[in-house]
Chain A
């Protein structure tokens, strides 16, 4: 897990920089070098380095301390190690005061540097792991966790942010895998209910009676097996948000019950006669066309309007392809860390495969594809081969073009395939290939194809 961390070595002497970089590369780190403070600051702006080795004495305007201060301004969490040829107490104090993590005097014992680097990297690994685990544990997503540079998405997120603190019901529509629950969580955790519970229920997963007791709870003895009173999801979400996924799948009876909760803010537990009052914001989601369901009489119109106070329509991934590279980068970073594989990037060819895919399963499918590719990947970079499975069960629109194949070779293959398909019928083959018969005859002669 070393190579995902980058190290920057800053020194005006090239041989110093390069030999140090080479030594660290042997340890498996990705190392960049800069020959001046100015260059180092530029590089730190572009790339997040785990460790910066900065030489104290550098000519050309910006010395080590100034470089350190500027890098700290850009990246407050950066680990910076100041290097100097001669130790003086004053400079050491100045460097530490400005936030240097360590101060070393060259030439330094290799053991010392090796321990120092591994100590810092260990902490960085723990910090990153901690962040990922916390996020996973709480699943407290915010709008900045939704990765997109698509203008339509930006508008949607802006609107969702604005309504986060309202109590109004939100209906999120979008194909499966577009991130409906993620948006619901972001709305909840960005609003003033963030400290209260977020309770998610998938309405499609449960049978009608089960869903009813799941949502509204039940009294002791309400049905066989109801040995204790149990609170339903609405009660659990009191003060917070209840997220009803796949709302389009619920039965007419539950539609009526739900309408009552939305109107009266109260309900009865299954088998109970005591009215339970509840203050839960409802966010519903569906991949179905509820308007059409209303027209066909399968979904109550009054409930639809109650739910559809604020409508959020998430576009499918194929309509926001510009987000694919951003998402892929994010998934590679997160998943390679989770599965403990050292995958840092993706080849241009593999990215093209991902860009060209139609993603019927949207972002979730993309995430799964990246995970599968990372598990299969045998180098530090995802290649086209790692994504071969996408083409196997792809939409048929895609086929693999073998490397090093010429246009003529391809043409010959296509003609042969057409002839095979038509049982050697030239007229039919020509029409299938979109050329006239005489052209096909010419090509048969040119490529020496037997009919």
Chain B
């Protein structure tokens, strides 16, 4: 699968976590991850009023800019994402589809007025990347407490879960891939 880094004028880069994410995806999904740099998040996706990027529009541009290979694409950005209905999302994916996007804006300790913590940021980014990629492989939310597919709607919930799939989700993944 392809992993691309999208820098955002508002929010910055996500480059520092790409290596960790690539490693996590290779471990969990047994796929080869090729990291591809893509300079900027599309301008058109920025909503000036909200000061955030529109996730469905970002996904659209990921798909439009993609070559026929690879079959699954994950974009990582420093920009804060939203869908029109919700105040924010950590990420969004096409369920069982090709493209997903993860934002690290709200994964940084600085967002909550705390000192930066690179290890914590990378850990959170791994969880979110595994979560959205799970959706790409057709997995839906899981109730198991430390499964990466558990829904987290705030940072505490994100910190409580793990960056691996529970045995149930892993089995479902096997079924879908084979």
| Interface positions of A (Cβ within 8 A of B) | 2, 13, 15-16, 18-20, 22-23, 25-28, 83, 106-111, 113-114, 378
Instruction: Name the A residues within 8 Å of B84 (CB-CB).
Output: 13, 15-16, 19-20, 106-107
- Closest chain-B Cβ to A57's Cβ sits at a distance in Å of 13
One of B50, B56, B85, B135 near A26 (C-beta < 8 A): B135
One of B54, B56, B140, B151 near A114 (C-beta < 8 A): B151
What's the dominant secondary structure at chain B's contact region?
A: loop
Decide if B109 is an interface residue (CB 8 Å cutoff).
Answer: no
Decide if B82 is an interface residue (CB 8 Å cutoff).
Answer: yes
Q: How far is the CA of A114 from the CA of B88 in the complex (A)?
A: 13
What's the dominant secondary structure at chain A's contact region?
A: helix
Which of these binds chain A: B11-19, B30-38, B89-97? B89-97
- Closest chain-B Cβ to A53's Cβ sits at a distance in Å of 8
9 more CB-based (< 8 A) A-B contacts, given A23-B89, A108-B86 = A19-B55, A22-B92, A25-B140, A28-B140, A107-B82, A107-B84, A108-B87, A111-B153, A111-B154
Instruction: Name the A residues within 8 Å of B93 (CB-CB).
Output: 26
Contact across chains for B83 and A26 when beta carbons are under 8 A apart: no
Q: How far is the CA of A9 from the CA of B89 in the complex (A)?
A: 18
One of A2, A18, A113 near B56 (C-beta < 8 A): A18
Instruction: Name the A residues within 8 Å of B57 (CB-CB).
Output: 15
Decide if B43 is an interface residue (CB 8 Å cutoff).
Answer: no
- Closest chain-B Cβ to A186's Cβ sits at a distance in Å of 40
Contact across chains for B87 and A23 when beta carbons are under 8 A apart: no
Contact across chains for B85 and A109 when beta carbons are under 8 A apart: no
Q: How far is the CA of A416 from the CA of B135 in the complex (A)?
A: 50
Q: How far is the CA of A378 from the CA of B168 in the complex (A)?
A: 13
Chain B residue nearest in CB terms to A85: B84
Decide if B175 is an interface residue (CB 8 Å cutoff).
Answer: yes
| Interface positions of B (Cβ within 8 A of A) | 50, 54-57, 82-89, 92-95, 135, 140-141, 151, 153-154, 175
Chain A residue nearest in CB terms to B132: A26
* Given the contacts A27-B140, A378-B175, A19 and B83 also touching, CB distance less than 8 Å: yes
Q: What are 8 A-B contacts with C-beta separation under 8 Å? A: A13-B84, A15-B56, A15-B57, A18-B56, A22-B56, A25-B140, A26-B93, A109-B87
Instruction: Name the B residues within 8 Å of A25 (CB-CB).
Output: 95, 140
Instruction: Name the A residues within 8 Å of B89 (CB-CB).
Output: 23, 110
- Closest chain-A Cβ to B147's Cβ sits at a distance in Å of 13
Contact across chains for A19 and B95 when beta carbons are under 8 A apart: no
Q: How far is the CA of A113 from the CA of B82 in the complex (A)?
A: 14
Q: How far is the CA of A106 from the CA of B83 in the complex (A)?
A: 10
* Given the contacts A22-B94, A27-B151, A378-B175, A110 and B88 also touching, CB distance less than 8 Å: yes
Instruction: Name the B residues within 8 Å of A114 (CB-CB).
Output: 151, 153
Instruction: Name the A residues within 8 Å of B50 (CB-CB).
Output: 107
Instruction: Name the B residues within 8 Å of A110 (CB-CB).
Output: 86-89, 153
Instruction: Name the A residues within 8 Å of B175 (CB-CB).
Output: 378
- Closest chain-B Cβ to A340's Cβ sits at a distance in Å of 13
- Residue of A2, A13, A109 contacting most chain B CB atoms (<10 Å): A109
Q: How far is the CA of A27 from the CA of B135 in the complex (A)?
A: 10
* Given the contacts A19-B92, A25-B95, A378-B175, A106 and B140 also touching, CB distance less than 8 Å: no
* Given the contacts A15-B56, A27-B140, A109 and B153 also touching, CB distance less than 8 Å: yes
Q: How far is the CA of A108 from the CA of B89 in the complex (A)?
A: 11
4 tightest A-B CB contacts, nearest first: A19-B83, A28-B140, A111-B153, A110-B153
Instruction: Name the B residues within 8 Å of A22 (CB-CB).
Output: 56, 83, 92, 94-95
- Closest chain-A Cβ to B14's Cβ sits at a distance in Å of 21
Instruction: Name the B residues within 8 Å of A28 (CB-CB).
Output: 140-141
Contact across chains for B141 and A23 when beta carbons are under 8 A apart: no
Instruction: Name the B residues within 8 Å of A83 (CB-CB).
Output: 85
Contact across chains for B85 and A108 when beta carbons are under 8 A apart: yes
- Closest chain-B Cβ to A139's Cβ sits at a distance in Å of 33
* Given the contacts A18-B56, A28-B140, A28-B141, A23 and B85 also touching, CB distance less than 8 Å: yes
Instruction: Name the B residues within 8 Å of A111 (CB-CB).
Output: 153-154
Q: How far is the CA of A28 from the CA of B151 in the complex (A)?
A: 11
Instruction: Name the B residues within 8 Å of A15 (CB-CB).
Output: 54, 56-57, 84
Instruction: Name the A residues within 8 Å of B135 (CB-CB).
Output: 26
Q: How far is the CA of A110 from the CA of B55 in the complex (A)?
A: 14
Contact across chains for B85 and A19 when beta carbons are under 8 A apart: yes
- Residue of A23, A26, A106, A113 contacting most chain B CB atoms (<10 Å): A26
One of A2, A13, A18, A109 near B86 (C-beta < 8 A): A109
- Closest chain-A Cβ to B161's Cβ sits at a distance in Å of 14
Q: How far is the CA of A106 from the CA of B154 in the complex (A)?
A: 18
Instruction: Name the A residues within 8 Å of B86 (CB-CB).
Output: 20, 23, 106-110, 113
Instruction: Name the B residues within 8 Å of A13 (CB-CB).
Output: 84
Instruction: Name the B residues within 8 Å of A378 (CB-CB).
Output: 175
Q: How far is the CA of A108 from the CA of B85 in the complex (A)?
A: 6
- Residue of B57, B83, B93 contacting most chain A CB atoms (<10 Å): B83
- Closest chain-B Cβ to A61's Cβ sits at a distance in Å of 23
Q: How far is the CA of A388 from the CA of B84 in the complex (A)?
A: 47
Instruction: Name the A residues within 8 Å of B92 (CB-CB).
Output: 19, 22-23
Instruction: Name the A residues within 8 Å of B55 (CB-CB).
Output: 19
